[in-house]
Chain A
Amino acid sequence: MEARLVLPVSVEQVAVVVRQMSRADRERLLDLVPDLHQIARQAGRGRLDDGLAAVERARVEVTQALAGRRLSLDEPFLGELTLGQYLRLPDQERGRLWDDWGQVDLEDLEELDVRPDAMPAR
C-alpha cells in the first residue's frame, strides 16, 4: 500500500506547477494518475449538458422579456454603433469599449459602513 503524503502546498499551487510543465511531462502525469482522464471526461460532459440547459433557460427568459420580439442587429447600441457592429467587433475591442463606457473608479466611491450584524463571507 502506498504511503499517504500530505501536500505541503495548496492544490492551486500544484495547478500552477502543472501549467508550467511541458506537454510530455503532462502526458507522463496522466499516465501516473489515470483517474484524471475519467474525471476530465465526466466534467466535460456535465459542463456541456449544464451549458446547453442554461442557454435554453436563458433563451426562454429573453423571449419572455422581449415579449417574443427579436432584437434587430441594426438597432442603435452605444458609442454610435449598431448592435450588429458591436457584436462583430473583436473581443479586445469590445473590452476596450466597456472600459471606456464604464468609467467609474472604485477608489473614488464613498466607502459605506455595513450594518453591525452584516454577514461575513465565511
Chain B
Amino acid sequence: MSGPMRCLLDKVVARRIMEALLKLASAQDLIAEEVDALSLYERSDVRWLRLFMAPPTDHILERLVLSTPYAPLIALFRTRAEVARPTRYFKRWSRRLRDQGFTREDAAILALGTFGTSPAADVLGMHFVATLDRPMLNHWQTRQRTIQERLVAMQRQLDPPYRDAFLPQIRRPENIVQEPQSIA
C-alpha cells in the first residue's frame, strides 16, 4: 500500500463531528457517538488517513459558512475533510447496489466508496466508509460476498484504472484502524 488511507464519512458521522465541534464551541457536553466520531476526525492525518465527506454534507457547510460566527468552525472541519466526487461508473455501481436491497441514499454513499475520488481526481475509491447506520452495516456484511462478485463481474468490462476499483470496508468510526500496519 502506498499513500494515506481514505475514509468517507457518511452524513450522520459528518453531522456528529460538526455537532461535536459546535458543542465544544458553546461549552456543551458531548454524547458517546459524538466522541467516537470526533476521535476519528482527530485521528485523521495527511500522512496516513484522509477524510472525505459526501457532497450533500458540503452543501450544508456552504450554507452554514455564510453565517460569520460559524465560519471558523467550518474552516476547521474542512482542513480535515475533503469533498468526495463521483467518478465514471458511479451511477452504474449505485444501481447494482440498489439491486442488492440498499436504499437509494445508502447505495449512493456505498458507491461513492468504490467509485469516488478527490477534488484532484488522483485517487479511486475509499478504504473505509464510516457509518453509524447499524441496519446498513448488517446488510452490507450479509451481502458482501455477492456484492464482491458483482463488482468483479462489472470490472471485467472496465478499462484501467476503474478495473482496479475496490470495495471499501464499512465500519463504525471507533472501528476504523488507528495504525496503517493494522490493515489486513
A binding-site residues for B, Cβ under 8 Å? 10, 12-13, 15-16, 19, 47, 50-51, 53-55, 57-59, 61-62, 65-67, 70-73, 75-78, 83-84, 87, 94-95, 98-99, 101-107, 109-122
In the assembled complex, B147 has its CB within 8 A of some CB on chain A? no
Residues of A within 8 A of B96 (CB): none
Residues of B within 8 A of A55 (CB): 20, 24, 30, 35, 38
Interface residues on B, range: 35 or more
Residues of A within 8 A of B5 (CB): 121
B1 interface neighbour in A76, A107, A122, Cβ under 8 Å: A122
Q: With CB as the reference atom, state the residue of chain A lying closest to B3.
A: A119
* A110 CA / B28 CA spacing, docked (Å): 40
Q: With CB as the reference atom, state the residue of chain A lying closest to B4.
A: A119
10 residue pairs A–B, Cβ–Cβ below 8 Å? A10-B145, A54-B42, A58-B21, A71-B25, A77-B64, A98-B11, A101-B63, A114-B124, A116-B161, A119-B123
In the assembled complex, B181 has its CB within 8 A of some CB on chain A? no
B123 interface neighbour in A57, A78, A110, A114, Cβ under 8 Å: A114
Q: With CB as the reference atom, state the residue of chain B lying closest to A9.
A: B145
* A57 CA / B168 CA spacing, docked (Å): 28
In the assembled complex, B100 has its CB within 8 A of some CB on chain A? no
Q: With CB as the reference atom, state the residue of chain A lying closest to B174.
A: A47
In the assembled complex, B55 has its CB within 8 A of some CB on chain A? yes
CB distance from A52 to the nearest CB of B (A): 8
Name the interface residues of B98-151: CB closer than 8 Å to any CB of A. Answer: 104, 108-109, 111-112, 115, 117, 120-127, 138, 141-142, 144-145
A87 touches B121 (CB 8 A): no
* A57 CA / B45 CA spacing, docked (Å): 14
Residues of A within 8 A of B72 (CB): 65-67
